[in-house]
Amino acid sequence: MSRKNRNVLSESLSVSAAQKAYIRKHLLRIRRIRLYQLLILIGSVAFWEISTRIGIVDSFIFSSPTRVVKTIVEMTACGQLFYHIGITLFETLISFALVNLIGLIAAVILWWNDSISKVMEPYLIVLNSLPKSALAPVFIVWLGANIKTIIVAAVSVSLFGSIITLYSDFKSVEEDKIKLIYTLGGKKKDVLFKVILPGNIPSMISLMKVNIGLSLVGVIIGEFLAAKAGLGYLIIYGSQVFRLDLVIMSIVILCIVATGLYKLLFYYENKYTR
- Count Cα atoms within 13 angstroms, Cβ side, for 8: 5
- Count Cα atoms within 13 angstroms, Cβ side, for 260: 11
Return the higher-pLDDT residue of 175 and 90. 90
Q: Compute the distance between CA of residue 84 and CA of residue 257 in angstroms, rounded to an integer.
A: 12
CATH topology for the 64-273 domain = MetI-like fold (1.10.3720)
Residue pair 59/52 in contact (Cβ under 8 Å)? The answer is yes
Model confidence at 13, pLDDT cuts 50, 70, 90, reads very low
pLDDT in tens, 156-207: 888 998 999 999 988 888 788 878 878 878 888 888 888 888 888 888 888 8
The DSSP output letter for 1 is: -
Model confidence at 63, pLDDT cuts 50, 70, 90, reads confident
Q: What pLDDT is stored for residue 90 in this prediction?
A: 92
Tell me the one-letter amino acid at 219: V
SS3 54: coil
Nearest to 100 by CA among 218, 231, 212: 212
Q: What pLDDT is stored for residue 103 in this prediction?
A: 93
The DSSP output letter for 242 is: T
Q: How far is CA 215 from the centre of its chain?
A: 8
Q: What is the pTM of this model?
A: 0.81
Nearest to 271 by CA among 205, 200, 203: 205
Helices (H) and strands (E) in the chain, counts: 13, 0
Element of type H or E holding 17: helix 3-53
Q: What pLDDT is stored for residue 8 in this prediction?
A: 47
pLDDT at 1 over 70: no
Cβ neighbours of 73 (radius 10 Å): 10
Q: Compute the distance between CA of residue 224 and CA of residue 222 in angstroms, rounded to an integer.
A: 5
pLDDT in tens, 225-257: 877 888 888 988 888 888 888 888 888 899 888
Model confidence at 92, pLDDT cuts 50, 70, 90, reads very high
Region 71-87 average pLDDT:
88
pLDDT at 9 over 50: no
Torsion sign across C-alpha atoms 74, 79, 80, 85:
positive
Residue pair 86/194 in contact (Cβ under 8 Å)? The answer is no
pLDDT at 59 over 80: no
Length of the chain: 274
The DSSP output letter for 193 is: I
Domain residue ranges in the chain: 3-57, 64-273
Q: Residue 30 contacts by C-beta under 8 Å, 6 or more apart in sequence?
A: none
Return mean pLDDT, the chain. 84
